[in-house]
Amino acid sequence: MLQPQSIYIAVVGVGGVGQAFLSQLQHLESRMRKASPPLDLRLVLVRRSKQQLQSADWSGIDISNVLTLLKSITGPLPPWNEVLNHLSKAPGKVVLVDNTSDLALASTYPEALKKGISIVTPNKKAFSDDYALWAKIFEAAANGTGSPNAGYVFHESTVGAGLPVLSTLKELVETGDEVTKIEGVFSGTMSFLFNSFMPVGGGGGKFSAEVKKAKELGYTEPDPRDDLNGLDVARKLTILARLAGLKVKSPTSFPVESLIPKELESCSTGDEFMEKLPEFDNQMDELKSSAAKEGKVVRFVGSIDVPSKAVKVGLEKFDASHPIAALKGSDNIINFYTKRYGFNPLIIQGAGAGGGVTAMGVTGDLLKVISLLKQN
């Protein structure tokens, strides 16, 4: 009998998104095994910050037992360049799933792609840091201008988690529409915070308590200061602006409003910051009552005006009847204004953070890579 084609999967990061991804991978692996023709999706490497588990002979790791197996690993973490070299010698195509928020790891994507390793990731760093890294990634990738033997790269979950934001924008651009403006709520954490701390109609909890909840729900970045300083939204807008054709230099090259109180800017750890944040709840209460006096609520939004190349991120006041004011939970709303859609934007709305919905975007990207690899 003909052996099914094998695709080798390496996963880095097993936090909220990584664990949800592993459970979706298990589901996909079983579906692909029964498909016609069958496909063998084989997990061959799992790595976290201090441990790595590797399938010695490419035979695969039992997905259901990964976390327990990882815990038993001791000893030093192998250097990442050695891991990439090892993966490039796999007996078939390799897909690297980066579920970390590590910039150093993201900076090795061009090298991995040139070695024929495909990448799917929710990690925004590679696509939103210096423009030079973005350019190197797409010069190396087979779905950029790289060699057909190079790897493919997809990163849907870097904006709006699993919502089809990047695929929609790419299709608008590739089918010749002209995107003039993109605006909305791009952070699940910020959406959750303002929807629960300052709901339409009044009431709401203490700001610092809502930040704690957002972290517990898995919405925040590993360090919640990366959400509250506006940089997470700035990174998402950088990615969208670049896909819309603007060569945005970096996420700090345009105005970004931070919600970090001045006095807490010097906190050395995220834990210290979380501990001291309740002392500043009064500042956010003042913001809430001043907006309420005008019959409005405040929300954290972003926009890209393509013709003027203006990108900005920060707080804005909205009437209670505005769709942005009426968002619930961790919902994002992304409005694409284009020549084809005229005055009424194409709108994408739904949960913009959380392990399951983010992993869905990553698994969806894996499916896109599988379908491309099957054609080769």
Ligand X SMILES: N[C@@H](CC=O)C(=O)O
In the bound state with Na ion, the residue whose beta carbon lies nearer, of 13 and 361, is: 361
In the bound state with ligand X, the residue whose beta carbon lies nearer, of 63 and 163, is: 163
Pick one of 7, 11, 12, 97: the residue that binds ligand NDP (CB under 6 A): 12
Interaction of residue 161 with ligand X, rule CB under 6 A = yes
Interaction of residue 21 with ligand X, rule CB under 6 A = no
Q: How many whole angstroms separate alpha carbon 21 and alpha carbon 13?
A: 10
H runs (alpha helix) in the chain? 16-34, 66-71, 80-87, 103-106, 109-114, 125-128, 131-140, 165-174, 188-197, 207-216, 225-228, 231-243, 270-276, 281-293, 355-375
Query: Judged by CB under 6 A, how many residues of this single chain contact ligand X?
Result: 11
> Could you tell which of Na ion, ligand X, ligand NDP, none binds residue 189, using a CB distance below 5 to 8 A set by kind?
ligand X
Q: How many whole angstroms separate alpha carbon 50 and alpha carbon 282?
A: 40
In the bound state with ligand X, the residue whose beta carbon lies nearer, of 53 and 353, is: 353
Report whether 162 belongs to an annotated binding site.
no
> Could you tell which of Na ion, ligand X, ligand NDP, none binds residue 165, using a CB distance below 5 to 8 A set by kind?
Na ion
**Residues in region 23-82 near ligand NDP by CB under 6 A:** 47-50
Pick one of 179, 353, 370, 373: the residue that binds ligand X (CB under 6 A): 353
Q: How far is the CB of 124 from Na ion (least distance, A)?
A: 11
Interaction of residue 123 with ligand NDP, rule CB under 6 A = yes
Q: How many CA atoms lie within 13 A of 68 on its CB side?
A: 4
DSSP assignment of 358-375 equals HHHHHHHHHHHHHHHHHH
Query: The tokens 């210096």 sit on which residue?
Result: 130
Pick one of 102, 183, 232, 331: the residue that binds ligand X (CB under 6 A): 232
DSSP assignment of 213-281 equals HHHHTT-S-SSTHHHHTSHHHHHHHHHHHHHTT-----TTSS-B---S-GGGTT-SSHHHHHHHGGGGH
Query: The tokens 């619930």 sit on which residue?
Result: 328
Interaction of residue 16 with ligand NDP, rule CB under 6 A = yes
Of 226, 248, 227, whose CA–CA distance to 304 is shortest? 248
In the bound state with ligand X, the residue whose beta carbon lies nearer, of 52 and 220, is: 220
Pick one of 45, 93, 99, 273: the residue that binds ligand NDP (CB under 6 A): 99
Interaction of residue 123 with ligand X, rule CB under 6 A = no
Phi/psi for 271 (5° steps) reads -65, -45
Interaction of residue 365 with ligand X, rule CB under 6 A = no
Report whether 361 belongs to an annotated binding site.
no
Report whether 202 belongs to an annotated binding site.
no
| Whether 112 contacts 95, CB under 8 Å | no
Tokens, residue 101: 């928020």
Q: How many whole angstroms separate alpha carbon 261 and alpha carbon 228?
A: 10
Q: How far is the CB of 266 from ligand NDP (least distance, A)?
A: 23
Residues within the interface to Na ion (CB under 5 A):
156, 160, 163, 165, 361
User: Which residues sit at the interface with ligand NDP, rule CB under 6 A?
Assistant: 12-18, 47-50, 99-102, 105, 122-124, 157, 161, 188, 218-219, 221-222, 353-354, 358
